[in-house]
Amino acid sequence: MPNRPAIVARRTPSTAPVSALSEWRPSFAPVRPPNTKKLRRDRTRRRLCRYAPGSFRKERSPESLSMTVTNTSALQNLDARLVKPTHKGPTHVAGRVAFRGDILLTDADSPLLTAAIAAADADGAGLSFLAGQLEKFSQLPILIAALGGELNAGGKYFIYVADVQRGDRYQIAFGEASVYVLPYDDVSVYNELIDFFYLDKSKMKKFDTAAKIDALADGAAKYAETFPNLTYEEGLARV
């Protein structure tokens, strides 16, 4: 059988000139790196818009944000001393008004009862509940004088004091009212009260401000534990 010649594949040279090949460019646009500054700016703008007037979620009690108190409650008598309010007005309990903020002890900007939480009933006399923090035990009589007789025998009052020794817990009578004097351990008054009244902290997180105050005021009303009764002078000697 005769030998057939081998078939050799030959490359066809390109007919395009070299200059045309060198000028070739891809038809798609190159991928640019993201503009991180613009992304951050857009995220900030969206965050701010979320809290623009009219866009935030209203609390369950719109009237509680009015920052006013009824003229039939003990809080009305203390209105000039109630500063930096985060709540000042009705709560979810009918007839109850409350305040959360600071309370001036004198006509000056300081000293203060800080982290104060107070509640009063429209048909009751005086404050039904009060809690807050003082820097010094010696400020306690100044606080009582500033409240102007709004404490009564039926109310529950819890004052955390920074210079009271840890482990000390006692009650001091001022007139007919008894005040719980407690040490301050670098924990917020709100969190201290939650533990003090054995309230459900995870459940409290879901409440608005008015409901949180209601829970604390109700917990205080049910609190029946007592501590040693001291006079103010005896308490001062223990600081």
Q: What is the pTM of this model?
A: 0.71
The percentage of the chain sitting over the pLDDT mark of 70, rounded to a whole number, equals 70
CB 14 within 8 A of CB 21: yes
Block residue for tokens 């005086």: 126
DSSP state of 163: T
Q: pLDDT at position 226, please?
A: 95
Q: What is the pLDDT along the chain (239 residues), one digit of tens a residue?
A: 555 555 555 555 555 555 544 455 555 555 566 666 666 666 655 554 443 444 333 444 434 344 555 455 789 889 999 999 999 999 999 999 999 999 999 988 889 999 999 999 987 789 999 999 999 999 999 999 999 889 999 999 999 999 999 999 999 999 999 999 999 988 899 999 999 999 999 999 999 999 999 999 999 999 999 999 999 999 999 99
Q: pLDDT at position 64, please?
A: 38
The H or E element containing residue 161 is strand 156-161
19-28 residues labelled b (16+ CB within 10 A) or e (exposed): eeeeeeeeee
Sheet strand arrangement including 170-174: 82-90, 96-104, 112-121, 127-134, 156-161, 177-183, 170-174, 229-230
Q: pLDDT at position 108, please?
A: 86
Bridge partner residues of 173 (DSSP): 178
The string of pLDDT tens digits covering residues 125-153 is 899 999 999 999 999 999 999 998 899 99
